[in-house]
């Protein structure tokens, strides 16, 4: 755990609607306190998990695939150089690509549910028989372009 930040944000929740008969719950946009748990995870590196503190306790998980790949290459002894969020050199790019291709094949519902349990204590008690329904709200794919030489070839300089 690195830190926990809190912010009041708009969220989808419920409110009591009064009318004929008895009150009922209806879906509504509300303001609620959201907690951002920042972790340095063994598998994924620096990441955060956001949870709304009002029912239905929505959870968002943000992680960086480059950090995950760097940890995989460290584990397998593949040398690389990373500047910010880009790999500028990789000792075995073909092997690193095969590793990167495995990221999407992970058991994401199991991984994400474990992360939700880390930030929502009710998942281990009152809501222990409940599961989150996971969707991908945003995913980004990056292409790190690497060249075999730091200098342009003669063919490319003649075309300028």
Residue carrying structure tokens 């306190």: 33
Q: Is the peptide bond before 56 cis (omega within 30 degrees of 0)?
A: yes
pLDDT computed for residue 95 by the predictor: 95
pLDDT in tens, 16-59: 888 888 888 899 998 999 999 999 999 999 999 999 998 788 89
Instruction: State the pLDDT confidence band at 159, using cuts at 50, 70 and 90.
Output: low
Instruction: State the pLDDT confidence band at 153, using cuts at 50, 70 and 90.
Output: low
CA atoms within 13 Å, Cβ hemisphere of 96: 24
pLDDT in tens, 79-99: 999 998 889 899 999 999 999
Residue 36 pairs in a beta bridge with 5, 50
Rounded CA-CA distance 79/96 in Å is 10
pLDDT computed for residue 158 by the predictor: 57
pLDDT in tens, 90-148: 999 999 999 999 998 999 999 999 999 999 988 888 888 888 888 888 877 777 777 77
Is the pLDDT at 156 greater than 90? The verdict is no
Rounded CA-CA distance 71/45 in Å is 8
124 token code pair: 């281990």
Residue ranges per domain, the chain?
3-18+26-129
Instruction: State the pLDDT confidence band at 9, using cuts at 50, 70 and 90.
Output: very high
pLDDT in tens, 61-71: 999 999 999 99
Q: What pTM does this model have?
A: 0.76
Rounded CA-CA distance 68/72 in Å is 6
């Amino acid at each position: 755990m690195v830190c926990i930040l809190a912010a009041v944000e708009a969220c989808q929740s419920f409110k009591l609607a009064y009318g004929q008969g008895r009150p009922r719950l209806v879906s509504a946009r509300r303001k609620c306190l959201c907690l951002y748990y920042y972790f340095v995870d063994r598998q994924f590196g620096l990441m955060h998990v956001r949870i709304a503190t009002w029912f239905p306790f929505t959870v968002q998980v943000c992680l960086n695939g480059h950090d995950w790949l760097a940890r995989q290459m460290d584990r397998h002894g593949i040398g690389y150089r990373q500047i910010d969020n880009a790999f500028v050199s990789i000792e075995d790019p073909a092997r690193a690509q095969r590793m990167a291709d495995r990221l999407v094949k992970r058991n994401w519902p199991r991984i994400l549910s474990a992360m939700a349990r880390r930030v929502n204590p009710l998942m281990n008690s009152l809501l222990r028989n409940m599961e989150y329904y996971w969707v991908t709200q945003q995913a980004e794919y990056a292409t790190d372009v690497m060249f075999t030489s730091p200098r342009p070839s003669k063919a490319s300089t003649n075309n300028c």
